């Protein structure tokens, strides 16, 4: 077992994917911003958005997916063919889910994870004046499809 992003001398590199086939690849990641019930009430009327807060986080997540190669040093700059970010307010947190698709030579797990993290940070920013103790938690890949390794789903 070894880390492909490090060469035999331990130096970081962007792994060459030029021999991999271009194909449709999809990844879904999720996470949750934990906050208080009172804050959830400020963000929503029941499960409906109240004002721009959820839209702001959704846009931040979609734009964050596009910034992945700028942020993650060894990620490939690739074309993205679709990004969707879902926000589900729950009793004491907002559940975040992002699905990203490409037709390129490498998977998009990092793009999906970055979308979730940036959407979560954007929520954090909006609620921090009223809940400085909010926590972004459980940012993780749920599923990936396509590419040579095929489908992976998170074990329960």
- Residue choice 94, 97, 117, 147 for contact with a second copy (CB under 8 A): 117
- Residue choice 88, 90, 92, 135 for contact with a second copy (CB under 8 A): 135
Quick one: tokens of 134? 């909010």
Residue 74 is assigned to a ligand binding site: yes
DSSP state letters, 69-129: HHHSTTPPP----EEEEEEEEETTEEEEEEEEEE-SSS--HHHHHHHHHHHHHHHHHHHTT
What Å distances lie between residue 44 and 3, 40, 62, 124, CA to CA? 43, 6, 21, 15
The contact mask relative to a second copy for 53-92 (x = CB under 8 A, - = no) is x-xx-xxx-xxxxxx-xxxxxxxxxxxxxxxxxx------
Question: Which residues between 15 and 34 bind a second copy (CB under 8 A)?
Answer: 15-18, 22, 24, 31
Catalytic residues: 125
Annotated binding site: 74-76, 110-111
Binding residues for substrate: 74-76, 110-111
């Amino acid at each position: 077992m070894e880390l492909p992003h490090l060469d035999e001398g331990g130096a970081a590199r962007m792994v060459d994917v030029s021999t991999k086939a271009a194909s449709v690849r999809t990844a879904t990641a999720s996470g949750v911003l934990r906050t208080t019930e009172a804050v959830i009430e400020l963000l929503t009327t029941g499960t409906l958005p109240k004002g721009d807060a959820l839209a702001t986080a959704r846009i931040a997540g979609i734009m964050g997916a596009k910034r992945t190669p700028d942020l993650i040093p060894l990620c490939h700059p690739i074309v993205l063919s679709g990004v969707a970010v879902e926000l589900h307010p729950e009793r004491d947190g907002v559940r975040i889910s992002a699905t990203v698709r490409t037709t390129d030579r490498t998977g998009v797990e990092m793009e999906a994870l970055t979308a979730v993290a940036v959407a979560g940070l954007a929520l954090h920013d909006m609620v921090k004046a009223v809940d400085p103790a909010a926590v972004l938690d459980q940012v993780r890949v749920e599923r990936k499809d396509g590419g040579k390794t095929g489908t992976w789903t998170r074990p329960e």
